[in-house]
Amino acid sequence: MAYDLDFNEPKVTVSEKLAALENVKAIVMISETALTVQCGRAYVTLKGRDFVIREIFEGRLLVEGRIQGLEFFGAQDKDQDRGLSHRQAAR
């Protein structure tokens, strides 16, 4: 069961021109066509263009622009981040 006050999961409200992301821990990447943030155990990527960050306050990020897509990614295993397979990590 998901609770409204789960600070380790992303909470996203999005329309064509505005996105409110909550429980943001860090901005990971910004480019001309994408914005990726870390929200506890997950990552959220907004895809589009003309992004303007309107607000950053206590884990809330308000982004304006032409939003064309939204992707969620789970946190990867730390051993995979270092290029090790599960079998190599166990040795």
pLDDT classification of 26: cutoffs 50, 70, 90: very high
What span, in angstroms and rounded, lies between the C-alpha atoms of 39 and 9? Answer: 6
Query: What per-residue confidence (pLDDT) applies to 88?
Result: 44
- The residue among 56, 21, 57, 51 whose CA lies nearest residue 39 is 21
One-letter amino acid identity for 13?
A: T
Q: What is the pTM of this model?
A: 0.73
Q: Is it the case that residue 15 has pLDDT exceeding 80?
A: yes
Instruction: Name the token pair of 27.
Output: 């901005």
All residues at 6 or more sequence positions from 35 whose CB lies less than 8 Å from its CB, including other chains: 27, 29, 45, 46, 51, 63
pLDDT tens sequence across 30-47? 999 999 999 988 999 999
